[in-house]
Structure 1
Amino acid sequence: MEKREKFSSRLGFILISAGCAIGLGNVWRFPYITGKYGGGAFVLFYILFLVMLGLPIVIMEFAVGRGSQQSVAKSFDELEPKGSKWHVYRYFAMAGNYLLMMFYTTIGGWMLAYFVKMLQGKFVGLDPEGVGAVFGDLTTNRNEMILWMVLISVIALIVCSGGLKNGVEKVTTIMMVCLLLIMVVLVIRVMTLDNALEGLKFYLLPDFSKMKEAGIGQAIFDAMGQAFFTLSVGMGSLAIFGSYLGKERSLPGEAVSVTALDTFVAVMAGLIIFPACFAFGINPGEGPGLVFVTLPNVFGEMSGGQIWGALFFLFMTFAALSTIIAVFQNIIQFARDLWGWSLRKSVIFNGVLLLLLSLPCILGMTDWSGFSIAGKGIMDIEDFIVSNNLLPLGSLIYLLFCVSKRGWGWDNFIKEANTGEGAKFPVAKGVRFYLTFILPLIILVIFVQGYASMFLK
């Protein structure tokens, strides 16, 4: 078996793992859900739950990856007690990665399309109805959506075909540094707008009365869900990068760095969006249309808006592309670990398969738009299966695998997590009790609530 590649630097590992976690959930969903629940109060709950729910499972997924030196295709086989069936989960994890890419590449394509349209000046001089019509035209044009989906997928496949160090690590590191620089430039620009300070206050000063209006219970649940899903835990997407990691540093410190970077990007996205919305009198709780309909109007009002808008959508494209590259890398490594395929064979086979599997999502908005289950179209169904089923249940599998005597076990997990220099995972009895009995219940509540919110509306 060929020797497994390793990251060339710690920074590369942190940026790629964060790139996997930093996706449209941070820069698209986080701002509008924060707007919906009155700003700063929601941010406080989100950060609290991030530490309580997300961080332990990130560490566990990294530990399983590094301990096994395998992707999720074979990591459980390596570590499970003989005769146990934990490895069966690999089929669900692999399915989850494919399913995620079946709709995510379409949304990534939209971001790329908007970057190009903004650069071309397609939004210049349009009123709000005109801007809304651009999005409507894009999402009903099958061939245009296929073009952008194929383009962003091919870019990701080319990056992955260069291997870990020369492809994925090199490109993602450059892209993530550019993403962070673009964000800082955009934040500075929107802070110069009139009334930007009001947006900043709304975003950062907790106002529990606004949260109460929207419903505190639902706000807390949404904060839990957002904290949980933003890190992309449960499908082996982080375990794969743990498997490329050396033993020099302990895993809690690395997980904190990744989580902090992920949170920084989400918070910075809000620092761009809220001051901009308040400066032009636009509702920041606008919903998913915030990015595609509301913000182009904001950039249209700004001097030099065409350039600022293009920069914003370049940043959004990088956020989407970093996740697509990370998940493609996971999918490509499955076949290499499971069947011993060469990199080239796995890239070509999975590339063709992923492009074909991404078509139903686009057709669901066009030729098959009449198809729905419980009022949801194909994209929403794919998203629901991943977000409300495979992510929470996958996280539960990783959690139980690391704390259960019938799995890898607490002692093995702690030994792996705390190997190397840096912050250590706490081994107090209270922590173990929380992870063994309380956190699994919280994950199950999130899982059940996902179904309740779908069918009891």
Structure 2
Amino acid sequence: MVKNQVTSLKKRDVFISRWGYILACIGSAVGMGNIWMFPSRVSKYGGGSFLIPYFLFVIIIGFSGVIGEMAFGRATRSGPMDAFQKAVESRGKNGKIGKVLGAIPVLGSLALAIGYSVVMGWILRYTVGAFTGKTLEPNSVEGFSAAFGSMASNFGNNLWQLVGIVLVAVILIFGISSGIEKVNKVMMPLFFCMFVGLAIYMLFQPGSLAGYRYMFSVDENILNPMTWVYALGQAFFSLSLAGNGTLIYGSYLSDKENIIGAAWKVALFDTLAAMLAALVIIPAMATAGTNLFDGGPGLMFIHLPNLFKSMPGGQILVIIFFIAVFLAGITSLINLFEAPIATLQEILGFSRTKAVLSILGIGAVVGVCIQAIVSQWMDAVSIYICPLGAGMAGIMFYWVFGSKYVRKEMQKGRKRKIGRWLEPMTKFVFCGLTAAVFILGVVFQGIG
């Protein structure tokens, strides 16, 4: 087994630095959920009343689900299909069953990437428009809404959507160390710097104190079961668990790296990104004397541009904001496309370039056709496929491979012996939470 892994590692591209890998994982986790959903849920569910269960679930999932997908990928040196196959074969069973099951998270990753490419097209259009003045051209909320509605219609944004896909294709063709790692080393620090700058600006705006006071207060919402349900969903999806992205990045990680150490850093910086977004958006709403609108595209493409236009330096604010959002979006999109690309390389023996062009070609065609229904498309994938993929990955690694194998793989690159918390936290708590996310998502038609 060790010999095969070493041979596989030599053949596979790898991350060449610890922080390159960590930043890539942070880039995969930091996305639209941090920017357009987290602030609205903090606002809706009582500020600190939402933050307390959210932080709790981030810690639990970070030290169970994130470490599991990272270790699963590194242990098998493969994407979900081959990883699931190896897990089943370790029990002396027909590995084809595992390969078929592994196709579910791969297809889910591709479906999410296609939907995300539509959103990236919107972001690119608004980013360019921030420089030209087009983004802030409307004179009212109704005007901003009409502009967004026109763009988000059937074939309403073909050009920028295709530009985004071409840009992602170029990065992915360069591979892991020369493409994904280098891009994330630049884009993630820039993202955090820009949002820190926006947060500092909001700190000095009149009326912003009310926003901070609300964010960190605890009220009766702490006892509301829905606060805990949506905190669970926010934490689960924010950490990018679906049995594909984190697993595939883990497959490019050296055995010398401490997975538990990497996982808590990813969880920490993902949470910092979400908090920075909230520290910009909630005080901005307080400054304007308005309530935070429901999260989603409407917040980012309608209400925030309308708000920025009314603030001093609005033109600069909207430029910084959409550049930062673009950085978050493209790093997430790269990760979503990587799992199906790696699968074509493993299963069909495609070259890197051929696999990238094949997958992104499919993404371009389908993405252009679903522009008007992208919200329903993303809801279906996140409700039914993502929790299923994460749950299957957890079962395959923690239950099928078994505790002895898992502990050995987790211990690689780590000096201190892992405590007895590992088995109950992973086999029971995490797998139970993925089942809860799936069931609650179906019941409430989405909690992520």
Equivalent in 266, 285, 293 of residue 258 of structure 1: 266
CA RMSD of aligned residues (A): 1.9
Letter in 2 for 1:292: F
Residue of structure 1 in register with 2:24 after alignment? 16
Distance change (3 Å), C-alpha of 1:422 and 1:253: farther
Give the conservation status (yes or no) of the 8 Å contact 1:15–1:172.
Answer: yes
CA positional deviation for 1:188: 1.1
Matched residue of 2:414: which SS?
coil
Residue of structure 2 in register with 1:48 after alignment? 56
Instruction: Indicate the larger mover: 119-128 or 312-321.
Output: 119-128
CA positional deviation for 1:277: 0.8
Equivalent in 349, 355, 361 of residue 346 of structure 1: 355
Equivalent in 410, 415, 421 of residue 417 of structure 1: 410
Equivalent in 433, 445, 448 of residue 439 of structure 2: 448
Deviations 1:301-355 (A, max 9, x none): 1222111111101111111111111122222111111121111211221121111
Output aligned runs, 1:173-252, within 5 Å: 173-203=185-215, 205-209=216-220, 211=221, 216-252=224-260
Residue of structure 2 in register with 1:385 after alignment? 380
Counterpart CA distance in 1 for 2:86 and 2:432 is 27
Give the conservation status (yes or no) of the 8 Å contact 1:49–1:223.
Answer: yes
Output aligned runs, 1:107-118, within 5 Å: 107-118=119-130
CA positional deviation for 1:380: 3.6
CA positional deviation for 1:126: 1.5
Counterpart CA distance in 2 for 1:166 and 1:438 is 37
Deviations 1:58-115 (A, max 9, x none): 1110111110111223122334323153332221011101110121111111111111
Equivalent in 133, 137, 154 of residue 150 of structure 2: 137
Matched residue of 2:53: which SS?
helix
Give the conservation status (yes or no) of the 8 Å contact 1:300–1:306.
Answer: yes
Count of residues in correspondence between the two structures: 432
Give the conservation status (yes or no) of the 8 Å contact 1:234–1:394.
Answer: yes
Distance change (3 Å), C-alpha of 1:298 and 1:103: same
Deviations 1:200-245 (A, max 9, x none): 1111x23223x26xx8111110001111111111231111111111
Instruction: Indicate the larger mover: 251-260 or 434-443.
Output: 434-443
Matched residue of 1:358: which SS?
helix
**1:269 paired to 2:280:** no
Output aligned runs, 1:428-447, within 5 Å: 428=421, 431-447=422-438
Distance change (3 Å), C-alpha of 1:179 and 1:434: closer
Matched residue of 2:70: which SS?
helix
CA positional deviation for 1:438: 4.2
Instruction: Indicate the larger mover: 419-428 or 191-200.
Output: 419-428
Counterpart CA distance in 1 for 2:12 and 2:440 is 40
Equivalent in 139, 144, 153 of residue 126 of structure 1: 139
Give the conservation status (yes or no) of the 8 Å contact 1:250–1:424.
Answer: no
TM-score between both structures, scaled by the size of structure 1: 0.90
List alignment gaps of at least 5 residues for structure 2: 1-7
Deviations 1:27-50 (A, max 9, x none): 111111111112121011101011
Letter in 2 for 1:349: S
CA positional deviation for 1:436: 2.8
Matched residue of 2:382: which SS?
helix
List alignment gaps of at least 5 residues for structure 1: 366-377
CA positional deviation for 1:128: 2.4
Letter in 2 for 1:421: R
Counterpart CA distance in 2 for 1:440 and 1:143 is 40
Deviations 1:127-149 (A, max 9, x none): 22222222122223x44422121
Residue of structure 1 in register with 2:159 after alignment? 147
Letter in 1 for 2:436: V
Deviations 1:153-186 (A, max 9, x none): 1111110011111111111211111111111111
Equivalent in 176, 179, 182 of residue 167 of structure 1: 179
